[in-house]
A and B are shown apart, each in its own frame.
Chain A
Amino acid sequence: MANTAPGTSGGAADLEALRGRATVLRRHILEMLHEAASGHPGGSLSAVEIVTALYFGGILRYDPADPARADRDRFILSKGHGVPVQYAAMAEAGYFPVKELKSLRRIDSRLQGHPVLGSLPGIEASTGSLGQGLSIGVGTALAARLDGAAFDVYVLLGDGECQEGQVWEAAMAASHMKLANLVAVVDYNKFQLDGAIEDIIGLEPLAAKWEAMGWTVREIDGHDIGQVMEALLWARDHEGPACVVAHTVKGKGVSFMEGENAYHGVAPSDEELPKALAELDVYREALASVEEEAAAEVAAAHRGEVRR
Chain B
Amino acid sequence: MKDLYPGFTFGKATRDAYGEALRDLGRDHPEIVVLDADLAKSTKSFTFGAEFPERFFNVGIQEANMVGMAGGLAHAGKVPFIHSFASFVILKGFDQLRMAVAYPHLNVKVVGSHGGISLGEDGASQQAIEDVALACGLPGFVVCVPSDEHQMRAAVRAAFEHHGPVYIRSGRPKAPLVYDATPTDFAFGKGKRLREGTDVTLMANGLMVAACLVAAERLAADGVQARVVDMATVKPLDEDEVRAAAAETGGIVVAEEHLVTGGLGAMVAQAVCRLHPAPVAFVGLEDTYAESGAPAALLRKYGLTADAVLAAAERLLERRGSAASSGAARSPA
Question: Contact string, A193-207, partner B, CB cutoff 8 A, digits 1/0?
Answer: 000000000000000
- Check A139–B99 contact: CB distance below 8 A: no
The count of chain A contact residues (Cβ–Cβ below 8 Å) is: 32
- Check B72–A136 contact: CB distance below 8 A: yes
- Check A127–B69 contact: CB distance below 8 A: no
- Check A143–B104 contact: CB distance below 8 A: no
Q: What residues of chain A lie closer than 8 Å to B62, measured between beta carbons?
A: 166, 169, 172-173
Q: What residues of chain B lie closer than 8 Å to A139, measured between beta carbons?
A: 68-76, 80
B58-80 residues with Cβ-Cβ distance < 8 A to A are 59-60, 62, 64-78, 80
Q: What residues of chain A lie closer than 8 Å to B95, measured between beta carbons?
A: 129, 132
Q: Give Cα A116–Cα B103 distance, bound, in whole angstroms.
A: 8
Question: Contact string, B67-107, partner A, CB cutoff 8 A, digits 1/0?
Answer: 11111111111101000000000000001101110011100
Q: Give Cα A47–Cα B206 distance, bound, in whole angstroms.
A: 50
How distant is A21 from chain B, measured CB to nearest CB, in Å? 28
Q: What residues of chain B lie closer than 8 Å to A127, measured between beta carbons?
A: 99
Q: Give Cα A166–Cα B69 distance, bound, in whole angstroms.
A: 11
The interface-forming segment of A86-94, A117-125, A218-226 is A117-125
- Check B33–A128 contact: CB distance below 8 A: no
Let me know if B57 is at the binding interface, CB within 8 A.
yes
The count of chain B contact residues (Cβ–Cβ below 8 Å) is: 31
- Check B75–A137 contact: CB distance below 8 A: no
Given the contacts A125-B75, A142-B73, A136 and B100 also touching, CB distance less than 8 Å: yes
In the complex, which residue of chain A has the Cβ closest to the Cβ of B33? A146
- Check B96–A140 contact: CB distance below 8 A: no
Q: What residues of chain A lie closer than 8 Å to B75, measured between beta carbons?
A: 117, 124-125, 136, 139-140
How distant is B215 from chain A, measured CB to nearest CB, in Å? 44
Q: Give Cα A129–Cα B64 distance, bound, in whole angstroms.
A: 12
Of the candidates B60, B65, B72, B104, the one whose C-beta lies within 8 Å of that of A140 is: B72
A151-194 residues with Cβ-Cβ distance < 8 A to B are 165-166, 169-170, 172-173, 177
Q: Give Cα A136–Cα B99 distance, bound, in whole angstroms.
A: 10
Q: Give Cα A129–Cα B76 distance, bound, in whole angstroms.
A: 21
Of the candidates A135, A144, A147, A172, the one whose C-beta lies within 8 Å of that of B68 is: A135
Q: Give Cα A173–Cα B69 distance, bound, in whole angstroms.
A: 10
Q: Which residues of B contact A (CB under 8 A)?
A: 33, 54-55, 57, 59-60, 62, 64-78, 80, 95-96, 98-100, 103-105
**What are 8 A-B contacts with C-beta separation under 8 Å?**
A70-B77, A125-B100, A126-B104, A135-B66, A138-B68, A139-B76, A140-B73, A142-B57
Given contacts A127-B99, A135-B96, 14 further A-B contacts (CB under 8 A): A125-B75, A126-B100, A132-B68, A135-B67, A135-B71, A138-B69, A139-B70, A139-B73, A143-B77, A146-B54, A146-B78, A169-B65, A173-B69, A177-B57
